[in-house]
Structure 1
Amino acid sequence: MEEGSSFQDLFANLLRKLKDADKVAYVSEHFTPAHNVDDMFSFLWSLEEAHQLLTPRISRAEKSETKAEKFRAEGNKCYQKKLLDKALELYNQSIVFAPHPEIKIEKCPDGKINTTSNERQEDLVSEGQGTSCCTSEKEEGYKALALGYANRSAVLFELGQYEKCICDIDYALLHGYPKILHSKLAERKAKCLIALQRRNEAKSLIESSLEALDALALDEEKTKLSRSNLQSLSQQLDKKFIDIHPNTKYKLLFSFENPSPPKLSDHNPTIPALSRSVDLAFSSTQGRYLIANKDIKPGDVIAVEDAYSKVVHLDSSLHNHCTECLARCLTPVPCPICSKVIFCSAACRMRALASYHGPECDILTSLAVLDIGKNSVLACRIISQTTFSQLKNVVPVYLAESAEKPPASLGFDGAGKYISSDYRTIYHLVGNKQSRSVSDLFKRCAMAFVLVKLLEQTSRFFVDAAGVAFTPSVGDIILTGSTLFIHMMNLPCNAHSVTEFRININNYQQSVTSEIGCGAYGVMSLTNHSCNPAAARFTFGATEVLKAVRFIPAGTEVTDSYGEHYCVQREESRIASLLQQYYFKCACEPCRHHWPTYCGLLEECMLKCVSCNNPIDFIGGKCSKCNLDYTKTSRSEKFNVITYNWMEVVVQLKRIKEEFDLAYKGVIAGNNSTENINKLCEFIEFIDRTQVLEDHQLMVCVVFKAGSTTWNSILAHRYNNTEVLKTKEFYKLLEVLNPTKERFQEVSRSPLFLKALMARHPLDRLLSAYRDRIEDQTHVTSQAREYGPQILRHTRGLRFESHASFNK
C-alpha cells in the first residue's frame, strides 16, 4: 500500500489486478446472497491479491513534545493579544500533543475499573478535590503537559470559567509544574475560590502557600512579588465585595450546554428502553416494528436509549467532542497514548481506555487516511468494545439463534428481555444480504478485510481474557472478519446519526442541526420509516430520544423518518433513495397516495369522518362514504362511534390556529416556553384527530376514477354522461379557454371547466402526463407540476357541490 492511500484506491487496485488476471468471474462466483458471510470472508482471506493490495499501513497519532511546545508558544502570543478563543484552542492542542504518564487500568472481578493511584488522583482533580498549590512533591514530571494546563488555566480565569480553571491548576500541579511558580497558581486558584464564594478554602490555600514559600528557602527578592500578592489577597478576604471581573468579550464561548435527556416515566417490561405505551410487533412484509397500545400525544416520550456503541466523526468534530460521551468539550483531557482524541473528563477517559480505545488508539489515524466511511469506523468500535474474547464466546451462540429462532424474537436474551447494552441486539439487526448485489457484497467484504488487517497490526485487539496479546489463528481472523462483514451490511441500514443543535443567536431560524457522529441503537433500529413520520429522534450526546411529533392512535404504527420527508423531497426521489440504501420500496401513506411537497399542499379545511376517515361534505354535513351525520354531535349505534358538529369544529380550529400562529412565532424567535410548546402540540393533535391529510388519491376518488385509464373516461364517469363532452356549450367554452395560470383561475368556476380541459389537445396531454406522474414515477413534466395542484384544488371544490347539482 502506498502511504496515504484511501480505501477506494486500494479497492480499485484490487479490481484492476483481478481483471488483468481474468479472475473477476471466478471471484464473483463466491460473493452471492446464497453464500454465508464466513465463506465469503474466508475466500477473500485466501486470495493472495487481497493481501498484496488491501493491507494498509499503520499510521499513529503519536505524542510530540516539540509540537506541544510549538502550540503553547503560539497560544502565549494570542493570550498576550487577548485573543482568548484562539489561545484556548492552541493550549488545548498543546495539552493533547504533550507526552503523558501511563495510565494502567485493570478490571476487578466485579467488572468495575481498578486504576493506579495516579489516575485516581486525576479523577479527584475532575471532581474538584485536587492537589494543593505549593505542596506537590512532583518537581520532575511531564513539563510540557503541566505548562499547557497552567497556561490554559490563565485563559479560563479570564473567561470566568472558575471551576474549570481550578481543575487545570490541579492538573498542572499533578504533572510536575515547577515549584518556584506554584505561588502564581495559588493566587489564581484563590481568586477562583473567592469568585465561587468559597472564601474559607481560599483563606486556607493562601496560608499554606505562604508557608510553602518560606520552606523553599529562596532569595527573598525572587518571592517578594508572589508573597505580596498573596498577602494582599488575604487582606481582601474580609471585605464584603471583591472585584473580580471576567472578560465579557467571549461570554458566548461557553454558552453551549450538554442537556440531560428526559426520563421514561413508565418502561416497557420486556424492552426497557421503550415506553409502556409501545409494543413490538412483527409481520412478514414489515419485519419488526413498533405499535402504539394506547393513544400517544405529540411531545410524548416513546423511547430513551443509550447507544451500544458510538463514534465521533473523524473530522473537526474529533477535536471538540468527547470520544466517549460525544459531549461538546472546550477544555479536554487527553488520551495518554495518542494525540487523536479528547475526553471531557478523567471518568470518560477511564471508561474508554478500559473498553475500546486501547485497540482503537493505534489505528484511528489510519482509518481517517483510508476514508473508509463512518459505518466502518463504528463497526471497528463495536468489536473493539465487545472484545475479541467475548466475540469468540457469543458469536457461535448468535449464529445458532439466527438459524433456530423466528425473526421476531432475535435480539431477546434468555430471560425474554431486549436490552440495549446486550451485543446480540446489534448483531441481529437486519443487513439485507439477500437483496445485495455481487459487487456490493464483495466491496463490503473488502472493507472488513482492511479493518482486520489494521487490527492485526495492533497488539491491543487480539488479546485473551487476561489481556495478554497472542497471534491470531486463521479461525480467529475469520471470526473477526465475518463479524465485521455483518456490521458492514447492517450498520448502513440501522446506524443513527448523532447530532447537535447549533443556535444562531442573531437569527434563530438559521440555527442548524449538525451531525457530529453516529451510533448503534438496538431499540431505535426497530422503528420503520414513513415519509410522514409519527415520531422523531433527538440525541443528547450518545443518548437518543424518540418523541411523538403527531397524534398516534392506539393500534397504529410508530414510524420514524430515515431521512426522506414528503414535504421537502419529491416522491420519486424519496423512493429511489430508500430503495438504494435500505432495500425496500416505500409504501407509506404519502408515497401510496402521491402527496405533493410543501409547495403543492392545499389550504382547504377537510374534516374527516371518525368512522372511515373520509372527508365530510360541508354542503350536506355528511360523510361522503358512510353517510354519517355531522350536523350535530350524536352516537351511531351502527358504527359504534360518536360524531361531532362540523361547524363547531371549524370554529374551534380557527381559535387553535390563532393560538398556534402566536406560539409558532415565539418559538421561531427563540422562545421555547412550556406554554408555546404546549400550544404547538395541542394544534398538531387537533389536526391529526380531525383533518383529512393531503392526499392525491382523494382527487381520483372525488372524480370516481374507478379503474379508468384516461381523463375523458374519468369525466364521463363523474358526470354519468358521455354526450355532454360534445355539446355546443362545451365547445363554446373551449374556444375562449387559454390555459395560463390567470385564465386557469378565472374559468375554474365553470362546471364545464374540466370537460374543456380534457378536450383541448395540448392540455389533454398535459393532464395525462400529470395522471402518469401519479401512477408511473418515470413520467414527469414541468407543466404537470405547475397545473397539478390547481387541478386538485378545482376537483376538491367540486366535491363540496356533492351530487345534488347533478341529480336535479
Structure 2
Amino acid sequence: MALTFENVMEYYYKNPKFSDPSDISCRNLNPIKKWLKDQLKQNTGKNNDISSLIRKEGNKFYKEKSLTNSLKSYNSSMCYAQESSEEYFLALANRSAATFELERYEDCLKDVNLCLDSPTYPMNLRPKLYSRKDECLKKLDKISNTKNQFENDMAVKTEQLPLFENGENPNYAYAAPAIELRFNEEKGRHVVAKQTIKKGDTLFIEKAFAFGPIFDEHSRTMHMLKCHECLNDIYCGVPCRYCAKCIFCNSKCRDKSWEESHKWECRGMFGDIWYHLGIAYPAFRALLKGINSTLQTVELDNIKCFGDKEDNYSFFNSLLFDKDNKYLDASVMSITVVTYLKHYTNFFIWFLSQPKNCYSWTMHCLETFFELQLTKHILQFQNNSSIIEHWIEGKDLPSDKEPVACGIFPSVSIMNHSCKPNITNYFVCDTIVVKALEDIKKDEEICNCYGICYRNMNKIERQQNCSQLYHFKCNCVICSDPSKEMDVFDVFICTKCGNDIPKVINKKKIFLCQNCGTKVDNQILIDIYQNIELEEEENGVESLLNSLTRKKKLLNRYHSSLQKTCFKLYLFYKEIGNTKCMLKYFKKWLKIEKFKVGQDIQLFGFLLYEVGSFLFSKASTVEDKQMLDEAKNFLAEAKHICELHYPPYITHRI
C-alpha cells in the first residue's frame, strides 16, 4: 500500500519531538524520504498518450459548444504533449478552432501559423488550417485598430486599475494617503482613517508579494486559463517545457517564472509534490524572494513606514502568526520541502554559490535555517494570506467567482477582522483593489472580513470560527451589538396588535404581548408556521401567494422567510414574463434585504443589472416608457454598486 502524505503527517504526530529544532539530529526522516521517492516514481510529466485523451475530451466540449471547457482541455493537452511532437501541434490546431469561435482572431492566427510552420503537423490536415487562416484574415480586415489581443487585454486590465486620487501614501506602501497605520497593545498594528473617507474611495492597490496558483482537484494541474506567473487570462498560452502542470501567457512569462522559482518547483510537479504540500507552495515562493533580499524583518511596533515596492520581504516577514496553531503541520511540510530540495535539486549548492550570499554556511546550518524560515512563512500564510478570486467570464456581468491562487498582500493584511467589514475588494490578475464600502469617519478603524461574515453565520458560529481559526474573540460592530444580528428580525408578531414577540427564553411557551397584553402561545405559532412552510413547498403560484399572505400576519415584516417567498414569486413571474408582478415582488425582496444588510451588497448590483436588462428586452412600445424608466433606474443603481465589487473591464459593460 502506497504511503500517503496523510500517513506521513500521522507518523510525526505520534512523534512530536520531530518539530523541535534543537533536536534535529535524532529525527527519523525515512517516512518523508519514502513518500517523496514514491511520489516522484509516478513521473506525471510529458506523455503524448495522456495528451491525446485530453484533446479528445476537448473535442467533445467543442462539439457541445462549451468553448471555455474545450479551451481548458486543449491547453492541458498541450501541457502533456512532448514539445514539437505531432500531438502538440494537433492540440494547438484544435485550440485555434476554439479561439476562432471565441472571436479571438489574433490568437487563432498565431496558433494556425505555428502549426503551418511545423514539419510535424500532418499534411492532410493543412487545408483546413489554410481555410481557417483565410477566415481569420477576413475577420481582422473588418476590425480597426487590431492590436495584439494579449497586449490589448493586458492594457485593458492594468490601465483600468484605479489610481489614488491624491497620490500614494508616502509612509504606507500600496495605500491611499487617507489611511494610516497605528499600534496599541490591544489591537496591535491596525489601519485607521486619517481623514473622512467616502464610500467608493480606493484604499489599497497592492500587487501580491508572493502567490501560488491553486491546483485543480481532479487533474492536479494549475488553472489552464490563467498564467502561472502573472495570473492573466490565457487564450494562446505556452506550456512549461518540462512538467505538465503549468501554462504561461507567453515565453517571456515562462522564462521569468523559471528564473524566479519554477526551476526549483518543476521537478516536484512531476510527482504532485506541491499539490499535496498545499500552502507550503506559496510560502516556498515567498522564501525564494527572501533569498534575493536581506532575509530580515521589521519591528512590530514600527509604524512610521510600512512596505517597500522594490523589496517587501522584511515587511512580509514581520507579519504575525500563531505558533501554537498547526505548528507541527507546518514543520513537517517545511522539512519535506527541504528534503526535496536537497535530494532532487541542486538548490542548496546553487544558493552557496550566489554572490549575494555573504554568510559562511555549512550545509547543515543552511538546511536548518531554511526549515525554520519556511515553517514561519507557512504559518504566516495560514494567518495572513488571501484567496485570489477572479470573476468567472462568459456573460456580461458574472455572478460567481473562482479561486485561482493563494497570495499574500502585506499592506492589506494589516487590517483587522470585522464580521461586518467597511471595505470590499476585487482582484485584477495578481493585484488586489480595496475600496470603502461605506463612509468612514476620521480615526475610525478600517476592517476587512476574514471570511467570517454576519450575513451567513450567527454570533455563536462566528465566535467559534474566530477562536478556532484565528485565536481571538471578535468584538466588532456586529458582535458587540445584538440588535444588529440578522436573526433579530426572525420573530413572530402578536396576531392582535402586530408587536414583535421575543424569542423563547427559558423554554417558556406562553407570553404576554408587551404592547397589548394578549396571551401568546409560542408552540401554536410554531405549528402554524411549519404548516405554512409545508404548503409552500408545493411551489405553485397560488400556494406561494397564499403563504405570503399568511406569513405577513404571523411574522416580522423583515423575517427571512418572507424574503424567500418574495424571491420565489419574483423568479416565477420572471419565468412566465409577467413583468408587472415580477417587479412587485423583486422590490419587496430588495426592500427587506437592504434594510437588513445595507445598500451596496454585490448581489444587489448583479440582480439589479439582471432585472434592468430583462425590462429593456421586454419594452417594445411607446406605452412601455414607465418600464424603460424603471430599467434605467435599476441599471444606474447596478452600475453604482458594481463599481465597488467589480474591476472596470467588467463594469464598463453596464
Please give the range of the TM-score, normalised by the shorter of the 2 chains. 0.5 to 0.7
How far is 1:178 from its partner?
4.5
Corresponding residue number in structure 2 for 1:285: 186
Equivalent runs, 1:49-88 vs 2, <5 Å: 49-53=28-32, 56-57=35-36, 58-59=39-40, 60-72=43-55, 88=71
Corresponding residue number in structure 1 for 2:215: 314
2-side partners of 1:680 and 1:313: how far apart?
Answer: 29
Instruction: Find 1:162's aligned residue among 105, 127, 142.
Output: 105
CA contact (8 A) 2:320 2:383 kept: yes
Corresponding residue number in structure 2 for 1:454: 340
1-side partners of 2:161 and 2:114: how far apart?
Answer: 30
1-side partners of 2:180 and 2:145: how far apart?
Answer: 54
Equivalent runs, 1:623-638 vs 2, <5 Å: none
Residue 318 of structure 2 corresponds to residue 428 of structure 1:
yes
Query: One-letter code of the match for 1:512?
Result: D
Equivalent runs, 1:205-284 vs 2, <5 Å: 260-265=160-165, 266-284=167-185
Segments of structure 2 that go 5 or more residues without pairing to the other structure are 147-152, 356-360, 492-590, 614-632, 645-654
* Deviations 1:556-589 (CA, angstroms, capped at 9, x unpaired): 1111111112232121221221122222221222
2-side partners of 1:602 and 1:295: how far apart?
Answer: 35
2-side partners of 1:347 and 1:369: how far apart?
Answer: 24
Corresponding residue number in structure 1 for 2:330: 444
Query: One-letter code of the match for 1:261?
Result: L
Query: One-letter code of the match for 1:587?
Result: N
1-side partners of 2:226 and 2:216: how far apart?
Answer: 11
1-side partners of 2:47 and 2:284: how far apart?
Answer: 26
Residue 441 of structure 2 corresponds to residue 553 of structure 1:
yes
2-side partners of 1:310 and 1:67: how far apart?
Answer: 29
2-side partners of 1:429 and 1:70: how far apart?
Answer: 45
Residue 498 of structure 2 corresponds to residue 518 of structure 1:
no
SS at match of 1:394: coil
2-side partners of 1:525 and 1:677: how far apart?
Answer: 29
Per the normalisation by structure 1, the TM-score is: 0.54
How far is 1:158 from its partner?
4.1
SS at match of 2:435: strand
Per the normalisation by structure 2, the TM-score is: 0.66
1-side partners of 2:21 and 2:35: how far apart?
Answer: 17
Query: One-letter code of the match for 2:425?
Result: R
Corresponding residue number in structure 2 for 1:566: 454
1-side partners of 2:612 and 2:117: how far apart?
Answer: 43
Instruction: Find 1:669's aligned residue among 574, 590, 611.
Output: 611
CA contact (8 A) 2:211 2:407 kept: yes
How far is 1:364 from its partner?
3.2
Corresponding residue number in structure 2 for 1:48: 27
CA contact (8 A) 1:308 1:420 kept: no
Corresponding residue number in structure 2 for 1:408: 302
CA contact (8 A) 1:664 1:676 kept: no
Corresponding residue number in structure 2 for 1:15: 13
1-side partners of 2:144 and 2:608: how far apart?
Answer: 45
How far is 1:258 from its partner?
6.5
Tell me: CA distance 1:177–1:200, structure 2 relative to 1, closer, same or farther (3 Å).
farther
How far is 1:48 from its partner?
3.2
CA contact (8 A) 1:273 1:523 kept: yes
CA contact (8 A) 1:42 1:478 kept: no
Equivalent runs, 1:370-385 vs 2, <5 Å: 371-373=276-278, 375-385=279-289
How far is 1:538 from its partner?
1.7
CA RMSD of aligned residues (A): 4.1
Query: One-letter code of the match for 1:196?
Result: L
Instruction: Find 1:355's aligned residue among 260, 272, 281.
Output: 260
How far is 1:294 from its partner?
1.3
CA contact (8 A) 1:305 1:420 kept: no
SS at match of 1:291: strand
Query: One-letter code of the match for 1:555?
Result: D
2-side partners of 1:4 and 1:303: how far apart?
Answer: 45
Corresponding residue number in structure 1 for 2:249: 344
**Structure number with bigger Rg:** 1
CA contact (8 A) 1:320 1:330 kept: yes
How far is 1:552 from its partner?
0.3
Tell me: CA distance 1:93–1:664, structure 2 relative to 1, closer, same or farther (3 Å).
closer
1-side partners of 2:235 and 2:143: how far apart?
Answer: 27
How far is 1:477 from its partner?
0.4
Query: One-letter code of the match for 2:76?
Result: Q
Corresponding residue number in structure 2 for 1:482: 372
Query: One-letter code of the match for 1:377?
Result: Y
CA contact (8 A) 1:527 1:558 kept: yes
* Deviations 1:469-503 (CA, angstroms, capped at 9, x unpaired): xx981111012111111112211110011112347
Corresponding residue number in structure 2 for 1:190: 134
Corresponding residue number in structure 1 for 2:203: 302
How far is 1:419 from its partner?
3.2
Q: How many residues align?
A: 495
2-side partners of 1:88 and 1:441: how far apart?
Answer: 41
Instruction: Find 2:474's aligned residue among 575, 582, 586.
Output: 586
2-side partners of 1:86 and 1:523: how far apart?
Answer: 36
SS at match of 1:515: strand
How far is 1:526 from its partner?
1.0
Tell me: CA distance 1:386–1:673, structure 2 relative to 1, closer, same or farther (3 Å).
farther
1-side partners of 2:612 and 2:347: how far apart?
Answer: 48
Tell me: CA distance 1:308–1:200, structure 2 relative to 1, closer, same or farther (3 Å).
closer
Query: One-letter code of the match for 1:536?
Result: T
Query: One-letter code of the match for 1:9?
Result: N
